[in-house]
């Protein structure tokens, strides 16, 4: 998809822009197909030079305009160009864009990290519990073994 957009040129702290047609996936300072004009925001009044016939050709071929280019075209291009390609409606749509509501995070239960002492205590308790379980099982096993031995002797 082709897009008519600005690409920055000029020195540091002295911006000047070219109005170019480029693939929308290319980098802003990357390759472009054609230069369609210039824009210098530092001069008073701002200097805008457009090749309207080339802009018209690219718009007929299906190129889209960026937001800033739409504003520039409304200010300085012929009224016919703006009406023909409904560029003024692009600006109206941009103004009416609803702002996104801030995302609210669902409250998750807070996990309080345990201190080392608490961890050690829990580990000790679990070790004691497993020992109790194993000792409880053993007497039953011994008694069953004794019973089986007695039965064998008989």
Give a yes or no: residue 109 inside a domain. Answer: no
Give a yes or no: residue 135 inside a domain. Answer: yes
Give the CATH number of the domain where residue 81 resides.
3.30.1320.10
- Residue-range definition of the domain harbouring residue 119: 114-149
Nearest to 50 by CA among 31, 74, 28, 33: 74
Is residue 85 located within the same domain as residue 124? Answer: no
How many domains does the chain divide into? 2
Rounded Cα distance between 46 and 130, Å, is 83
Is residue 77 located within the same domain as residue 118? Answer: no
Burial class (CB in 10 A: 0-12, 13-18, 19+), 18: middle
pTM over 0.85: no
Is residue 90 located within the same domain as residue 119? Answer: no
pLDDT tens track of the chain, all 154 residues?
A: 999 999 999 999 999 999 999 998 888 778 899 999 999 999 999 999 999 999 999 999 999 998 899 888 888 888 888 888 887 777 666 666 666 666 666 666 666 666 767 777 777 777 767 666 666 555 555 555 565 555 655 5
Is residue 78 located within the same domain as residue 32? Answer: yes
Give a yes or no: residue 105 inside a domain. Answer: no
Give a yes or no: residue 118 inside a domain. Answer: yes
């Amino acid at each position: 998809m082709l897009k008519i957009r600005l690409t920055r040129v000029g020195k540091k702290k002295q911006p000047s822009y070219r109005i170019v047609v480029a693939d929308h996936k290319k980098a802003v300072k990357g390759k472009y197909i054609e230069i369609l004009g210039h824009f210098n925001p530092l001069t008073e009044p701002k200097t805008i030079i457009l090749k309207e016939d080339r802009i018209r050709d690219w718009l007929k071929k299906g190129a889209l305009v960026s937001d800033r280019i739409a504003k520039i075209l409304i200010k300085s291009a012929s009224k016919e160009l703006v009406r023909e390609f409904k560029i003024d409606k692009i600006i109206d749509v941009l103004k009416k864009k609803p702002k996104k509501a801030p995302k609210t995070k669902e409250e998750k239960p807070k996990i309080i990290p345990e201190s080392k002492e608490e961890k050690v205590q829990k580990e000790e308790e679990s070790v004691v519990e497993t020992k109790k379980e194993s000792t409880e099982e053993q007497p039953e096993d011994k008694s069953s073994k004794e019973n089986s031995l007695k039965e064998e002797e008989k």
